[in-house]
Amino acid sequence: MRQPRTRLGARMPAKAYVSMGIVGLCVVLYGWEMLQGIDAVAQNLAMFPAGIAVDNEYYRLFTSMFLHYSVLHIGFNMFVLWSLGPQLENIVGHVRFGVMYLLAGLGGSVASFWFSAPFVLSAGASGAIFGLMGAFVVVSRRLGADTRQVLGLIAVNVVIGFAVSNVDWRAHLGGLVTGAAAAAIIAYAPPRQRTLVQIAGLVAVFAVLVLLTVLRDQLLTAQLVTAGFGLTSA
Q: Would you please indicate which residues are annotated as catalytic (active-site) residues?
A: 126, 172
Q: How far is the first Cα of the chain from the last one, in angstroms, to the nearest whole number?
A: 65
Distance CA(47)–CA(57), nearest Å, equals 9
CA dist 150 and 54 (Å) reads 39
Query: Do residues 174 and 110 make contact, with C-beta atoms less than 8 angstroms apart?
Result: yes
Alpha-carbon distance 161 to 154, whole Å?
A: 10
Integer angstrom CA distances of residue 80 from 9, 89, 102, 112 = 25, 14, 16, 21
**Which SS3 state, helix, strand or coil, does residue 232 take?**
coil
| Contact by Cβ (8 Å): 58, 109 | no
Q: Beta partners for 47? A: 122
Name the residue among 21, 56, 34 with its Cα closest to residue 221.
Answer: 56
**CA-closest candidate to residue 50, choices 233, 231, 172:** 231
Number of H helices and E strands in the chain, helices first, is: 10, 0
Tell me the C-alpha distance between 112 and 201, whole Å. Answer: 23
